[in-house]
Copies of this chain bind each other. A is one copy, B any other.
Amino acid sequence: MNQVIRLYQFPISPFCRKVRLVLAEKRLQVEEITERYWEGAPEFLKLNPAGTVPVLKIGSHVLAESNAICEYLDESIPDPPLLPGNAMARAEARRLVGWFDDRFFREVTRNLVGERLLKKIICGGQPESAKIKSGSRNCRIHIDYIAGLLERRRWLAGDQMTLADFAAAAQISCLDYVSDIDWERSDAVKDWYAKIKSRPAFRSILRDNLPGFPPPYHYSDLDF
């Protein structure tokens, strides 16, 4: 890809982080543009009428929806592959991508990162304690689910790192930014996250620093 690549994104969005991980893993040079997508700027809505980030612009082509973007990148730049070679194994990886993008996000990330951080940034609002409680409870259940997967697998979808690991790490890194992961709960989950966190592709995410909302010290520490 010799064209200019531009990513419209917001640092604390897990869907943007998933795409940033894939872009970095594929060693693509990207110009990142911070988009306050909730403000609905007309030029941005022209790019993506859904008004969501991430949006990827490659030359004059515009791609939206994080899954469409990830699948496109994996098809266009096969090395390293981020989906397994076998169709049934790909289905399992995609099942887990759906699990994290949809269920984990709705039950955990939206309740915690949404309430603690995004709400403040968007409208200066205060977090609702019922949502924080529900998010924390669900987070423990999800960590246990991930630990269960890792009992019989090296990576979440099997013995190979896939989009499922990036979808999960994208959500979890946002939670870690607001100190909402209990790293004592599961050694297996901590080891898995340490492994993915130490990849060069993770560096840009560990450098994220929202003005007025700095991450805790351990967030970027590889030996957390």
Contact = CB atoms under 8 A, between A and B. Distances in A.
A130 interface: no
A72 B93 CA distance: 11
A27 interface: no
A88 interface: yes
Task: Give the number of copies in the complex.
Answer: 2
A: interface residue count bin: 20 to 34
A64 interface: yes
A64 B145 contact: no
A103 B69 contact: no
Contact of A87 (B75, B87, B90, B91): B75
A50 B50 CA distance: 26
A72 B92 CA distance: 10
Contacts of A215: none
A90 B103 CA distance: 25
Contacts of A35: none
Interface in A87-101: 87-88, 90-95, 97-99
